[in-house]
Amino acid sequence: MHLLLSLITEYGLLLVFACVLVEQLGVPLPAYPLLMLTSALAARGQFNVVALGVTAVLACLIADHVWYLIGRASGRRVLRVLCRISLSPDSCVRQTESVFTRFGPASLMVAKFVPGFASVATALAGAMHIRRAPFLLFDAVGATLWVGVALALGWLFSPAIDDIVDTLGRLGRWGLMLVVFALTLFIAFKWWQRYRFNRQLRMARVSPATLAELLDKGERPLIVDVRSAASRDEGRIPGAIALLGDHGEAPEFAAHPKDALIIVYCACPNDASAVVAARKLLERGFSNVRPLAGGFDAWVAMGRGVEQFGSPITPTERASAY
């Protein structure tokens, strides 16, 4: 434990830079405790707190700019990859896009404080082709706030942190094992959250091929698009209605038999938004609701046509669209 503390004392700035950079690139490594610890050490003169802040903010900006460039080059595909590999349970890309569409690049100022948003917001900024200047401006403000809060907490509670460090130091090897155990517990907790979230997404799906077959036969399931407004610019499955709010209040549902098929689709990893919407419809008494497996992307990949949204269509327009 004393060796670990001596390494932090000697290489504190380098460790802070590396830890923050790796965390912001997506590895579930908690950088906040290290920021608070080094800030507490700065309070007793072992570090320059301004240098700590600049180092941490620089690491954030580098990592965020990497994701911005990847998003700019890859589009929304990178968002789905991020959501699949993230250990943070998220309802998927749609919620992030909705927040970003509503508040724009300014949302980057608080993105790092919002679980499930920070992990994809910077890539989304690139995917939506936000100009580099406003991206860097708002991202720098957000990184400064995020780092500043950690350093302020570390400085404010430095006496308590010093006591904890001294106690761990006296424990020697056991203290180091305690630190490793706490880190392992943190990662395990994030994994458990993700596992529980994925379990909630288990639901029978309809394949794009089955939907295409139904439409080719002239059958008329109610198709519901629950993607964000930004994603709907890519078009819709022919005849689909667009819903972003309460999925049971649209007039199309009043005329739809409770036992007739409803197919819900999104553009999320694991069809997350579609499953959430489908469960809400089941709760409202519709007995035959199924998410579309793979969502909009799977439909397009199969080679089926799409049409552009003008505005949410009426039931009559929906029927004639086929």
User: Which pLDDT value is given to residue 23?
Assistant: 87
Asked whether residue 318 carries a pLDDT value surpassing 70, the answer given is no
DSSP state, residue 236? B
- Please identify, among 200, 224, 253, the residue that sits at the C-terminal boundary of a domain: 200
CATH of the domain at 263: 3.40.250.10
For residues 262 and 247, is the Cβ–Cβ distance under 8 A? no
Three-state DSSP class for residue 227: coil
For residues 291 and 264, is the Cβ–Cβ distance under 8 A? yes
User: Which pLDDT value is given to residue 80?
Assistant: 65
Claim to verify: residue 98 and residue 144 sit in the same structural domain: yes
Claim to verify: residue 12 and residue 159 sit in the same structural domain: yes
- Please identify, among 152, 172, 200, the residue that sits at the C-terminal boundary of a domain: 200
Average pLDDT over residues 47-76: 91
Residue 231 to residue 303: CA distance in whole angstroms: 18
* Number of domains the chain is built from: 2
Claim to verify: residue 296 and residue 188 sit in the same structural domain: no
User: Which pLDDT value is given to residue 37?
Assistant: 84
Residue 237 to residue 220: CA distance in whole angstroms: 13
The pLDDT confidence band at residue 51, using thresholds 50, 70 and 90, is very high
Claim to verify: residue 157 and residue 222 sit in the same structural domain: no
Amino acid present at 54 = V
The pLDDT confidence band at residue 240, using thresholds 50, 70 and 90, is confident
Q: What distances in angstroms separate CA 22 from CA 66, 72, 263, one per listed residue?
A: 12, 21, 40
User: Which pLDDT value is given to residue 115?
Assistant: 66
DSSP state, residue 125? H
Claim to verify: residue 167 and residue 252 sit in the same structural domain: no
Q: Which range in 41-45, 63-67, 95-99, 196-200 is most confidently predicted, on average pLDDT?
A: 63-67
Claim to verify: residue 240 and residue 163 sit in the same structural domain: no
Q: What distances in angstroms separate CA 60 from CA 23, 24, 289, one per listed residue?
A: 9, 6, 43
User: Which pLDDT value is given to residue 58?
Assistant: 97
- Please identify, among 143, 166, 200, the residue that sits at the C-terminal boundary of a domain: 200
Q: Which residues of 27-61 are buried (b: 16+ CB within 10 A; e: fewer)?
A: eebebbbbbbbbbbbbbeeebebeebbebbbbbbb
Three-state DSSP class for residue 290: strand
Closest CA to 88 of 116, 117, 118: 116
Claim to verify: residue 186 and residue 268 sit in the same structural domain: no
The token pair at 4 is 């670990």
Phi, psi of 8 (to 5 degrees): -65, -40
Claim to verify: residue 114 and residue 147 sit in the same structural domain: yes
Q: Which domain holds residue 163?
A: 2-200
Three-state DSSP class for residue 292: strand
Is this structure's pTM higher than 0.85?
Answer: no
Higher pLDDT, 27 or 133: 133
User: Which pLDDT value is given to residue 317?
Assistant: 38
The pLDDT confidence band at residue 60, using thresholds 50, 70 and 90, is very high
Claim to verify: residue 252 and residue 148 sit in the same structural domain: no
Claim to verify: residue 91 and residue 127 sit in the same structural domain: yes
Residue 278 to residue 175: CA distance in whole angstroms: 49
Full DSSP string of 184-215: HHHHHHHHHHHHHHHHHT----B-HHHHHHHH
| Tens of pLDDT, residues 157-182 | 887 766 666 665 665 566 566 667 77
